[in-house]
Amino acid sequence: MEGLNEAQCQTFAALCEAFFPALSDAETEQVVAEFSTDVERAKAIAAFCKHTPTAAGIAASFNNYVKAGLVTPELLQEVKLGLTALNTAFGTFLLCGHRAPFHALRGSEKTAAMIGLSASFLPPKRKLFNSFKVLTALLFLGSVPKGLHTNPAWAAVGYPSPRVFLEGAARRALSRGDTAKDPFASQWLRVTGEMELEVDVVVVGSGVGGAIMAAELARSGHKVLVLEKGRYMKQEELSLVEAQSALDMYERGGLLQSEDGSISMFAGSTFGGGATVNWMCSLQTPHHVRKEWAEEHGLSHLMSPAFQKSLDFVCSRMGVHTDKIPHNAANETLRRGCMRLGYPVEECPQAGKPQEADGSDAGYCCFGWKYGESQGMQGTFLADAARAGARFIDQCDVQYVRQHKGCATGVVAIVAGKHRLKVKSQIVVSSCGSVNTPALLKRSRLQNANIGRYLRLHPVTTAYGIFPEDVAVYEGPPMTMVSKAVQNQDGKGYGALIEVPSAHLAFLSMIKPLRGAAEARRDLLEAKRTVPLIVLTRDRGAGTVHVDKAGRARIDYDLHQDDSKHMLQGMEAAIKILIAAGATKVGTSQAGMEEYHPTSQGIADASFWGAGGWLEKMHRYGTLKYGCPLFSAHQMGTCRMGKSATSSATNGEGEAWELRNLFVADASLFPTPSGTNPMVTCAALSHGIAQHVKARLSSRARL
């Protein structure tokens, strides 16, 4: 696809600059006076106040996404149309009320125009605002401008340079003698031309489900081949920078979203899948969810000791523990607020222990940094599979499943974008995740109407508090505490969890509404004192995954009214927790909400809870589409298990109803959302399915 032209680049940069225009000398002096603590910090803040998205080459960064094929043709066309309109006085007048091309507006006018878009009653205008807010945060704050060694915002904020962290980590590893042998070194298959292979089992995807399937089957003596769409990256190859990590390790470079752009999704697309970039929180399937799946979906085996044994086994192998978990300041804040309110709060079991005693190295886990006794799938099940003889191919995009007389017989793939690969196998396992597994099955011409339906996302919104002291949420393990105060709002296990996310500068910028040019700089300079809380909602509503003419996955999802209600109750609880913990001001991501400054009365103040108070305004604003940004890190349910082909895509053993020997092993199997981080549930389901596949292969061998 062709990227933005010169005129479009000019307008693109101008739109991004509306969020962070250069401040005047007087504004800069005032901001420096508010936030500087020494001469060096004052210099850094002054430089940051003058640094802009245009100077950072933000339009060129967006074109890099286009060249990498990470922007859908429809989204690119939508962006181009908007830019072309705003490059004219007439188009800018229609959208923003100014009688000049957008790039010709003064800095304050650009910012005011964008604030106007965010507050518009027209959804397309709010959508335009949201799109550029996300892009600006990611490309301006989460990247290193060309020609520089660091981002000017980092020194101003006091954000630790990933480069410095990596150099220190390398020195510490050397002093400890960490020289473990790479188990994959001899197990890669290099494809340099058209190739045909024959194996017992081909596993599509190397995430949690695929890794466990590969390990279990390879250890049983079967010839296993794992195909991964993403790229294998060693620890020393990681950048730990937000934008580059998104490009390297996330589906569509971190820009995956629903068709209408109302919810953003983060999904791993790298060797090891989502487990390579997840936040290490590892919760077993709640009892009420297992009961629901057994009683309402005919999956009685999920209430059995065998399934519990699978849960315990995968947790043991992944190093899941609650022993001496280091809690960072943000998680301690969550605990403190809950305890003062009498809300339930508990530790989240973690997969693996940080190498550093204080857990300071764990803050980069969302960028692939894994450590200690567990390193995601690469340090556990994928390593087990490699040692048992499994082979691997990365950058391998599987096109479809081969079939013969109602049986799966292999796959056809494209490697490195150019080499055709044909694999013949007795068993095919799809572990592509809840977005790409249904897409693969649809490209393979499976007709079951349930494929792609029942997509659950655990939609998330945020609340935040600013504290007098530094908390540095990006340092130390995220999500080590959870409050279930509003988990069960309907008596059936649907509600929300309140947790601390992994949050670096781009994310922290995304969650705060735009209130003005100087305010945007101040908001970022408060990052080190900001505690964000996520409200993770177990959704009753469901979306769908379908494929376009090119076979690419497309997602439709609308927030259900029940889920909106539960989310707002979660937001209220999160705000109360932050106030009780001592926040000096609190806010939400809702574009129409001002921040609230708690008084000495805390949540008992009528200005907070009373008629016409802040809380009432928050509920009244609600989850307005494009006005209350939503995201998801959990995709589930698009090939769900069940008791019949009329209500599910796969049977209780994970096998596709209409194609024998095609098994699914990922979170798309979930009949309904797990209500917790889905990794352990996905792992246990896959472990159980692997036993069925072993039995199938053994029976074939006896014939």
pLDDT, one tens digit per residue, over 247-261 is 999 999 999 999 999
* pLDDT for res 601: 96
* pLDDT for res 374: 53
347/334 Cα distance (integer angstroms): 11
Percentage of residues in the chain with pLDDT exceeding 70? 96
pLDDT over threshold 90, residue 170: no
Q: Which of 118, 149, 122, 145 is nearest to 132 (CA)?
A: 118
Q: Does residue 55 or residue 450 have the better pLDDT?
A: 450
pLDDT over threshold 90, residue 610: yes
678/669 Cα distance (integer angstroms): 11
**Mean pLDDT of all residues in 63-80:** 86
**Mean pLDDT of all residues in 303-316:** 97
433/430 Cα distance (integer angstroms): 8
532/138 Cα distance (integer angstroms): 17
pLDDT over threshold 90, residue 165: no
Q: Does residue 586 or residue 70 have the better pLDDT?
A: 586
Domain boundaries, the chain: 6-158, 195-232+270-318+376-449+642-702
**Mean pLDDT of all residues in 625-633:** 97
pLDDT over threshold 70, residue 665: yes
pLDDT, one tens digit per residue, over 591-606 is 989 999 999 999 999 9
User: Which CATH superfamily, name and number, covers 195-232+270-318+376-449+642-702?
Assistant: FAD/NAD(P)-binding domain (3.50.50.60)
Read off the pTM: 0.95
pLDDT over threshold 70, residue 348: yes
Contact (Cβ atoms closer than 8 angstroms) between residue 455 and residue 544: yes
Q: Which of 385, 462, 415, 28 is nearest to 210 (CA)?
A: 385
Q: Does residue 69 or residue 701 have the better pLDDT?
A: 69
* pLDDT for res 371: 60
- The structure tokens listed for 671 are 């009949």
pLDDT over threshold 80, residue 177: no
- The structure tokens listed for 55 are 């100077």
Least confident of 174-188, 463-477, 605-619, 672-686: 174-188
pLDDT, one tens digit per residue, over 637-655 is 999 999 999 999 999 999 9
517-525 vs 39-50: helix crossing angle, rounded to 10: 140
pLDDT over threshold 70, residue 500: yes
pLDDT over threshold 80, residue 427: yes
Give the CA radius of gyration of the chain.
25
Q: Residue 87 contacts by C-beta under 8 Å, 6 or more apart in sequence? A: 7, 8, 10, 11, 101, 102, 103
Percentage of residues in the chain with pLDDT exceeding 90? 85
pLDDT, one tens digit per residue, over 94-118 is 999 999 999 999 989 999 999 999 9
Range 154-182 burial, b when 16+ CB lie within 10 A, else e: bbbbbbbbbeebbeebeeebeeeeeeeee
pLDDT, one tens digit per residue, over 208-232 is 999 999 999 999 999 999 999 999 9
**Mean pLDDT of all residues in 551-556:** 97
Confidence of residue 373 (pLDDT cuts 50, 70, 90): very low
Q: Catalytic site residue 634?
A: yes
What integer best gives the mean pLDDT of the chain? 94
How many other C-beta atoms are found inside a 10 Å radius of the C-beta of residue 287? 10
Confidence of residue 72 (pLDDT cuts 50, 70, 90): confident
Range 566-598 burial, b when 16+ CB lie within 10 A, else e: bbbbbbbbbbbbbbbbbbebbbbbbbbbebbeb
Rank 55-64, 168-177, 381-390 by mean pLDDT and report only the highest: 381-390
pLDDT over threshold 80, residue 178: no
Give me the DSSP letters along 153-205.
HHHHHTPPPHHHHHHHHHHHHHHHT-----TTTTTBPP--S-EEEEEEEEEE-
Confidence of residue 69 (pLDDT cuts 50, 70, 90): confident
* pLDDT for res 357: 57
Place of tokens 């301006």: 140
| Beta-bridge mates of residue 281 | 350
Least confident of 120-124, 162-166, 430-434, 622-626: 162-166
Rank 232-246, 348-362, 515-529 by mean pLDDT and report only the highest: 515-529
- The structure tokens listed for 480 are 């080590």
Catalytic residue among 98, 222, 297, 634: 634
The CA-atom distances, in angstroms, between 51 and each of 12, 69, 104, 144, 550 are 17, 29, 19, 12, 41
Confidence of residue 179 (pLDDT cuts 50, 70, 90): low
614/571 Cα distance (integer angstroms): 12
